[in-house]
Chains A and B, each alone.
Chain A
């Protein structure tokens, strides 16, 4: 085998090695925020956990060889990619709103999914009406990222991110306040 190739392969293997305690500290700090963000994206606790798992596995593999200046932004970018990739593969299943579930008397524990906790059904109901990228944009903004960072995470220009963010905020507002007496009057 050629020496150059062996050296190159060895280097690639080496950069995939990371220090366990240091990386576990990253996971400990970011696991819950990333999982909650992904739950907001996909509306499924189990799926969000799988995507969180994928996110940290990807980060673990990439960390030593990737230029990073914004660790949080980088992790959310990986998470966003995994969520959007999920939607690409699954072709965007529609959601069923939690409020409708509850109104219909649906008991998730009967079907073996008792872990899920309903905290903000109105928020979720509004989120699910957004395009996945708009949803990501809005959740990233709510998580505290700037439009510049959102642009980096979505792989678009800052201008495009600002446009998308405005559109997402308007779509969310309309959905979230649907049924408000004032909103009805507003038309």
Chain B
């Protein structure tokens, strides 16, 4: 090996990631090469310095400790006693507490709890049914089975499909003798059946590990005393445990029992899950019907070998038409699923999301052909009055199960066509077919061509395939369409300066100030008459007319060693700028600057906002600015700086949420995306409200972990991206079905969107 081969491998060598033969070759080279030895020492020293840095970095204690509130009736350790995974959490905590001297008393008080067996309680999510075997426990907040068939029958069914694997091995596990009988797999669920000599072994002590090292933990289990003639000692019990589904490519599974005392015991089983690969892809039905102001949507049917999932949700679309009613009874009493005239057993239902009536119903033995009839007699919707409101239906759907969309094996999405990599060069779109959609304008977005870096794309308004506009050698960092021109300003990660490109992909020239200085931001006003420039060192903000005349300084940072200017945006009308001044160790503050008309001498008037904001929205006339924080929404009058809190009561419940993607619609209402917690990784809803915060309502639910959302210039619809998602999703209105666009384009982190022409 030469130095050039060794050096890229040094980090992996130090971290122990190099395969043994490669590591030996690198070590051999190191022994004889002082220069590479020095590099290796640097890598090791770096990690040491970083570790020391993490031990000495400054920090300040947090202020809010809501867990110091009065102890609830059922505590954390109660949960530990009930559920297997909670037991695991408890075990980790016990280990932690052993290290925390101050927690010694707490540790003593809890010593006996984790070892206790599962105790069916109302809080544990256990519902006993009259049919045997008796449900013994559940580790998930999901409701348990609502009716037959049971796990044993499911495993028999899967055996007939070639998806159950006999084990029949007896091992001592702690103080018990356990016979592991069989393992079975369906699309969503893996089942394990075992017997134990003395009661059921707490499922917190059982896990599966597939041949890729993926650990699966129990979700639900049942136990029953061994029946006569089963070949199991009478004192023993039989336990069935449900785990999440296995990947169909898995070939081997290890069942691991970890008793409270004694060594873990492992049993390996070979599996062949090929039948699962033949299951059809999820069928996105997207049928909807509205009754009494509530729209019920049948979303997806995902077929399993024995157990299939039907997803649906109900949302109020016309709050005035909703007629609340007193209701009673559980979900299964109000959901009827029939196939070819016969009622299908509902195994259980799972509510998806925390505050939405979005339900997955698990049904047994869904036929492959014939008519499927689904009837919801009543549903409960949230968001109308703070809690749930029950509404009478019925909402009915009838489907042909032989629909082509429901059949055929799952196929991977079409492979993106390799894009040309000349820099920058427009490339044909990877999307082969155009969806039937009409956007109000073309849309720019940042995405990644196959094997490429982040680049600028343009999604045509007619819904046809997206076009690659410009691609550099490094990721596209930022872009600004220039109104009324064929140009777009772009900046790449490897160069702090902005360049101008044409919409057809040609890089033209560096974008500069009138005096020829390169800039870090180049932002044209919506009417194209003025340009705002952030200097390359980000210490000053300038503005000029589009022809370069009237160049004027808007802001020079007060502490040039510590402050920088970012994220300039223009008001939709007039000539007002909003930008942020970031200061090291002090966060950032937004500043608003009125910079006059196109023919006026610039006389900037600046005003600093009171808080650090997460998102901003200009009023349609540009005379006010709304902004959001973790705790609320505010509006500021530009003329005099008067600020008003407009957070609607529904968003003032004390929960810290990321309130982002704020938009002030043309009709005067304000739209905001509210996440369930302080991150953009949590599911989000779209809220609409009047500009004073009144009449707020959750207009669109469960948009997923929204990253960027841009309303159409008309205010009728919006397009969004989600964290970690592919492509774009277009909603023609808040009531419209979502339409995927540019599905084959990977967006990368920090996705950005902008409508062409404003």
Distance from A61 Cβ to chain B, minimum over Cβ atoms (Å): 7
User: What is the bound-complex CA distance between A3 and B146, given in angstroms?
Assistant: 14
> How big is the B interface, by class?
35 or more
Q: A29-B99, A40-B57 are in contact. Are A85 and B679 (CB under 8 A)?
A: yes
Stretch in B11-19, B259-267, B337-345, B540-548 with 4+ CB within 8 Å of A: B11-19
Q: Do A40 and B54 form a contact, CB below 8 Å, given A23-B67, A71-B89?
A: yes
- Residues on B with beta carbons closer than 8 Å to the beta carbon of A70: 92
Residues of A near B17 (CB, < 8 A) are 147, 162, 166
Instruction: Give the residue name and chain of the A residue nearest to B723 (CB).
Output: A88
**Does B538 lie at the interface of the complex (its beta carbon under 8 Å from any beta carbon of A)?**
yes
CB within 8 Å for A120 and B67 given contacts A4-B143, A96-B564, A172-B46? no
Docked-complex contact B566 and A142, CB < 8 angstroms: no
Q: CB < 8 Å: which of A19, A90, A119, A176 contacts B58?
A: A119
Partner of B88, one of A47, A68, A104: A68
- Please state if B656 and A120 are interface contacts (CB–CB under 8 Å): no
Contacts of A113 in B (CB 8 A): 585-586
A112 and B392 CA atoms in complex are apart in Å by: 60
B93 is an interface residue with CB less than 8 A from chain A: yes
Instruction: State the CA gap A49–B107 with chains docked (Å).
Output: 28
> Quick one: which of B70-113 are within 8 Å of A by CB?
71-77, 79, 85-86, 88-89, 92-93, 96-97, 99-100, 102-103, 106, 110
Interchain CB contact under 8 A, B76 and A18: yes
Q: Tell me whether A5 and B51 are in contact in the complex, defined as CB-CB below 8 angstroms, given that A14-B123, A93-B566, A113-B586 are known contacts.
A: no
Interface members, chain B 334-365 (any A CB < 8 Å): 334, 349, 351, 354, 357
Q: Report the Cα distance A57→B143, complex, angstroms.
A: 26
Once the chains bind, are B62 and A53 in contact (CB under 8 Å)?
Answer: yes
Interface centre among B72, B580, B679 (most CB of A within 10 A): B679
- Tell which of A26, A103, A105 has the most Cβ of chain B within 10 Å: A26
Q: Mark B17-52, 1 if CB is under 8 A from A, else 0.
A: 100000000000000000100110011001101111
Q: Which residues from chain A contact B59 at a C-beta distance below 8 Å? A: 31-32, 35-36, 39, 45, 48-49, 52
Q: Which of B43, B63, B584, B656 contacts A169 (CB 8 A)?
A: B43
Do A67 and B88 touch (CB < 8 A)? yes
Instruction: Given A4-B329, A40-B53, A142-B53, answer yes or no on A91-B566 (Cβ-Cβ < 8 Å).
Output: yes
- Residue-wise, chain A 90-129 has the 8 Å CB interface mask toward B (1 for contact) of 1111111010110111101001010111011001100000
Assess whether A186 is in contact with B88, with CB atoms less than 8 Å apart: no
State the CA gap A6–B588 with chains docked (Å): 44
Question: Is A160 at the interface (CB under 8 A from chain B)?
Answer: no
| Residues A141 and B586 in contact in the complex (CB < 8 Å), given A2-B330, A21-B106, A119-B58 | no
Q: How long is the Cα–Cα vector from A65 to B82 in the complex, in angstroms?
A: 11
Report Cα–Cα, A111/B351, bound state, in Å: 50
CB atoms of B79 and A8 under 8 A apart:
no
Contacts of B69 in A (CB 8 A): 20
Is B172 at the interface (CB under 8 A from chain A)? Answer: no
In the complex, are the beta carbons of B587 and A89 less than 8 A apart? no
Contact between chains at A43 and B585 (CB < 8 Å): yes
Please name all residues of chain A whose beta carbon is closer than 8 Å to the beta carbon of B562 when the two chains form the complex: 96, 101, 104, 106, 108, 111
Least CB separation from A89: chain B residue: B614
B473 to chain A, nearest CB (A): 16
A120 and B53 contacting across the interface, CB-CB below 8 Å: yes
User: Does B47 contact A2, Cβ atoms closer than 8 Å?
Assistant: no
Digit string of B528-547 for contact with A (CB within 8 Å is 1, else 0)? 00000000001000000000
Is B125 interfacial (CB-CB < 8 Å)?
yes
* Contact across chains for B60 and A20 when beta carbons are under 8 A apart: no
Judge whether B49 and A117 touch: CB under 8 Å: no
Q: At the interface, yes or no: B707 with Cβ under 8 Å from chain A?
A: yes
B680 located at the interface, meaning its Cβ lies under 8 Å from any Cβ of chain A in the complex: yes
B139 (CB) vs chain A CBs: closest residue: A67
Q: Determine if A26 and B65 form an interchain contact, defined as CB atoms under 8 angstroms apart.
A: no
Which residue of the partner chain A has the closest CB to B580?
A: A93
Complex CA–CA separation, A104 to B50 (angstroms): 25
A58: contacting residue among B38, B560, B678, B750, CB under 8 A:
B678
Nearest to A47 among chain B residues (CB) is B587
B579 to chain A, nearest CB (A): 12
User: When chains A and B are docked, how far (Å) is the Cα of A181 from the Cα of B564?
Assistant: 31
Chain B residues with CB under 8 A of A91:
566-567, 750
Q: B55: which A residues are within 8 A, CB to CB?
A: 36
Q: Is B231 part of the binding interface, using a Cβ–Cβ cutoff of 8 Å?
A: no
B678-A96 in contact (CB<8A):
no
Check A66–B58 contact: CB distance below 8 A.
no
Question: What is the interface size of chain A, counting residues whose CB is below 8 A from a CB of the partner?
Answer: 110
Q: Is B583 an interface residue (CB 8 A)?
A: yes
Name the A residues within 8 Å of B74 (CB-CB): 14, 17
Q: What residues on A are CB-neighbors of B73 within 8 Å? A: 17
**Pair B96/A29 contact, Cβ less than 8 Å:** yes
Contact of B62 among A49, A68, A84, A108 (CB under 8 A): A49
CB distance from B331 to the nearest CB of A (A): 4
B79 touches A119 (CB 8 A): no
CB <8 Å contact, A7 and B143: yes
A residues less than 8 Å from B587 (CB atoms): 44, 46-47
- CB neighbours (8 Å) of B88 from chain A are 67-69
Q: How far is the CA of A186 from the CA of B577 in the complex (A)?
A: 46
Report Cα–Cα, A117/B53, bound state, in Å.
Answer: 12
Q: In the complex, what distance in Å separates the CA atom of A28 from the CA atom of B54? A: 17
How far does the Cβ of B6 sit from chain A's closest Cβ, in whole Å?
A: 13
Check A96 against B561 for contact (C-beta < 8 Å).
yes
**Is there an interface contact between B583 and A111, defined as CB atoms closer than 8 Å?**
yes
Distance in angstroms from A170 CB to nearest chain B CB is 6
User: Which among A17, A82, A139, A186 has the highest number of chain B CB atoms within 10 Å?
Assistant: A17
CB distance B54 to A63 under 8 Å? Answer: no
B contact residues around A139 at 8 Å (CB): 50, 54
Q: Residue of B at shortest CB range from A126?
A: B46
Residues of A141-187 at the interface with B, using a CB-CB cut-off of 8 Å, are 141-144, 147-148, 155, 162, 165-166, 169-170, 172-173, 176-177, 182, 186
CB contact under 8 A between A173 and B60, given known A19-B77, A71-B89, A116-B585 = no
Q: Are B143 and A25 interface neighbours, CB within 8 A?
A: no
Assuming the contacts A85-B658, A115-B58, asked whether A170 and B11 have C-beta atoms less than 8 A apart, the reply is yes
Contact A63 B351 (CB under 8 A): no
Name the residue of chain A whose CB is nearest to the CB of B207. A69
Q: Which residues of A contact B658 (CB under 8 A)?
A: 85, 89
Closest to A70 in B: B92
Minimum CB–CB distance from B514 to chain A (whole Å) comes to 25
Q: Give the contacting residue for A106; candidates B51, B57, B561, B580; CB below 8 A.
A: B561
User: CA–CA, A116 to B369, complex, Å?
Assistant: 68
Interface string of B293-329 (1 = CB under 8 A from A): 0000000000000000000000000000000001111
Asked if residues B75 and A17 are in contact (CB atoms below 8 Å), the reply is yes
A36 contacts across to B, CB distance below 8 A: 54-59
Residues in chain B near residue A68, CB distance under 8 A: 85, 88-89, 92
Q: Which chain A residues lie closer than 8 Å to B567 at the CB level?
A: 91
Q: Collect the chain B residues with CB atoms within 8 Å of residue A141's CB.
A: 15, 47, 50
Contacts A44-B587, A61-B677 known; A12 to B54 CB distance under 8 Å?
no
A18 to B50, CA, bound (A): 34
Task: List, in ascending order, chain B residues with CB within 8 A of A47's CB.
Answer: 587
13 contacts between A and B (CB under 8 A): A7-B143, A18-B72, A19-B71, A33-B54, A35-B61, A39-B59, A46-B60, A49-B62, A91-B750, A94-B582, A96-B584, A98-B584, A101-B562
- Top 5 nearest A-B pairs (CB, nearest first) are A104-B561, A35-B59, A19-B76, A142-B50, A4-B330
Mark B residues whose CB is within 8 Å of A: 8, 11-12, 14-15, 17, 35, 38-39, 42-43, 46-47, 49-69, 71-77, 79, 85-86, 88-89, 92-93, 96-97, 99-100, 102-103, 106, 110, 123, 125, 141, 143, 213, 215, 217, 326-332, 334, 349, 351, 354, 357, 378, 380, 387-390, 538, 559-564, 566-567, 580, 582-588, 614-615, 656, 658, 660, 677-681, 707, 723-724, 749-750
10 new A-B pairs (CB below 8 Å) besides A26-B93, A36-B58, A177-B42?
A11-B141, A19-B75, A43-B584, A53-B62, A66-B89, A108-B562, A139-B54, A141-B15, A142-B51, A162-B15
